[in-house]
């Protein structure tokens, strides 16, 4: 099934202008009148950001980079090499297996640009992270958008069947916005099926939320990617690492595939982001603390919705996807009025489901008080 940009925006929810407008509307509703007293800072539970930001080691590295005589005044060539070396050591691979980009956004866009064309479509879930599909439509690549299965997971059987003749197959695991996870065995079998159906297609696996997964059935595909030129794994520093505003992402893959993805090389990033990412990738203890913090707050949030009578998927991310049994827009607008931002619509489930990012435990307690008032279930959920 091929989608034009307009149709895909309407169906899946892509559209930079609409997202910017929604953000402006959200903030305008919270801060009315220049002479009025500034209300409390809203709870930002709409963009899947890390509420704590980066760790202290990251902040120290940035301070040094920006200090007088520091590396910020020089081009980043040497520092990118250090970052790739640190990532390679983390995964037990060679720096030739690593490339980086301005967020994982750049990695995904370059993969679409490199491996698709008007004659080689992109295959993606109809409700998944929209970056690849949006960029494919922008450059004239057809998008084969495959609806989710009944459990709100990516339909691997249908996606493998649709891969015939495709140039790129995009798999977001865990999936955004549904928070659902595909097991390592299921992904292995899927890759084999895609290789058989489309021998020249690249399987791009976005593991942005990998560090938040607690399900033991999950398995990263990084080890496979370094050996298989038709598989690439994308990661980001925007989530568990707490660096969404610093825009650093990377890919792990076979050296020949990495060469094709490394368009801009060391000039794609800035020094502050590079040194911050280098420090963060080496701070495993801090990453484990962040995972534990998120798991506790996530469990509290899922349990609250469950007790209140609203089912969510078994989230393996830093957000939950909940069936609130009513349109998301009205719920979102009322939440905004009470100082809580939740995510935009996600067609075709915008009439029933909402995505809520996980903040700190205290933030989620404050947020669920608001949710309870809006949903009329404060007493039952207490």
- Report the distance separating Cα 222 and Cα 232, nearest Å: 8
Least confident among 208-217, 250-259, 264-273, 344-353: 264-273
- Report the distance separating Cα 144 and Cα 132, nearest Å: 12
Closest CA to 12 of 181, 148, 155: 148
- Report the distance separating Cα 272 and Cα 237, nearest Å: 13
Q: How confident is the model at residue 38 (pLDDT cuts 50, 70, 90)?
A: low
- The conformation of residue 317, written as its DSSP 8-state character, comes to S
Q: How confident is the model at residue 70 (pLDDT cuts 50, 70, 90)?
A: confident
Delineate the domains of the chain, giving CATH numbers in brackets: 5-53+285-381 (3.90.1150.10), 56-284 (3.40.640.10)
pLDDT at position 139, please? Answer: 96
pLDDT at position 8, please? Answer: 41
- Report the distance separating Cα 15 and Cα 283, nearest Å: 36
Q: pLDDT tens, 286-344?
A: 999 999 999 999 999 999 999 999 999 999 999 999 999 999 999 999 999 999 999 99
The whole-number average pLDDT for the span 354-376 is 97
Q: How much is the pTM?
A: 0.87
CA angle, 241 as apex, 236 and 243 as ends, to 5°?
75
> Could you tell me the two tokens for 346?
């996600």
pLDDT at position 267, please? Answer: 81
Q: What share of the chain is helix, strand, coil (3-state, %, to 5)?
A: 50, 15, 40
Closest CA to 190 of 229, 142, 226, 154: 154
Pairing of strands 202-206, 231-236: parallel
**Phi and psi for 270 in degrees, rounded to 5?**
-105, 160
Secondary structure (DSSP) of 205-250: EE-TTGGG---TT---SHHHHTT-TTEEEEEESSSTT--GGG--EE
Q: Are 165 and 121 in contact (CB under 8 A)?
A: yes
Q: How confident is the model at residue 250 (pLDDT cuts 50, 70, 90)?
A: very high
- Report the distance separating Cα 88 and Cα 318, nearest Å: 25
């Amino acid at each position: 099934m091929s989608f034009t940009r307009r149709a895909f925006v309407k169906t899946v929810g892509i559209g930079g202008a609409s997202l910017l407008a929604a953000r402006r509307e959200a903030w305008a509703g919270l801060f009315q009148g220049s002479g009025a007293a500034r209300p409390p800072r809203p709870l930002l539970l709409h963009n899947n950001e890390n509420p704590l930001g980066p760790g202290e080691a990251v902040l120290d590295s940035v301070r040094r980079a920006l200090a007088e005589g520091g590396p910020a005044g020089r081009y980043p060539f040497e520092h990118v090499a250090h970052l790739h070396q640190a990532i390679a050591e983390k995964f037990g691979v060679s720096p030739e297996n690593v490339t980086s980009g301005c967020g994982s956004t750049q990695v995904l866009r370059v993969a679409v640009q490199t491996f698709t064309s008007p004659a080689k479509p992109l295959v993606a879930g109809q409700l998944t992270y929209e970056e690849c599909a949006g960029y494919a439509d922008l450059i004239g690549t057809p998008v084969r958008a495959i609806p989710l299965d009944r459990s709100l997971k990516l339909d691997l059987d249908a996606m493998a069947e649709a891969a015939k003749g495709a140039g790129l197959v995009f798999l977001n695991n865990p999936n955004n916005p549904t928070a659902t996870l595909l097991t390592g065995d299921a992904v292995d079998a899927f890759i084999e099926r895609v290789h058989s159906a489309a021998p020249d297609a690249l399987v791009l696996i976005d593991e942005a939320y990998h560090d938040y997964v607690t399900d033991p059935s999950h398995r990263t595909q990084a080890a496979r990617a370094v050996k298989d030129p038709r598989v690439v794994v994308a990661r980001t520093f925007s989530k568990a690492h707490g660096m969404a505003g610093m825009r650093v992402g990377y890919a792990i893959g076979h050296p020949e595939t990495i060469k094709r993805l490394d368009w801009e090389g060391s000039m794609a990033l800035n020094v502050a982001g590079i040194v911050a990412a280098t420090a963060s990738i080496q701070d495993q203890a801090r990453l484990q603390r962040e995972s534990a913090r998120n798991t506790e707050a996530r469990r509290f949030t899922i349990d609250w919705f469950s007790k209140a009578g609203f089912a969510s998927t078994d989230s393996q991310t830093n957000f939950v996807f909940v069936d609130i049994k009513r349109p998301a827009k009205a719920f979102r607008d009322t939440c905004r009025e009470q100082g809580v931002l939740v995510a935009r619509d996600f067609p075709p489930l915008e009439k029933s489901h909402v995505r809520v990012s996980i903040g700190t435990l205290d933030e989620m307690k404050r947020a669920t008080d608001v949710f309870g008032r809006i949903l009329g279930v404060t007493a039952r959920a207490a």
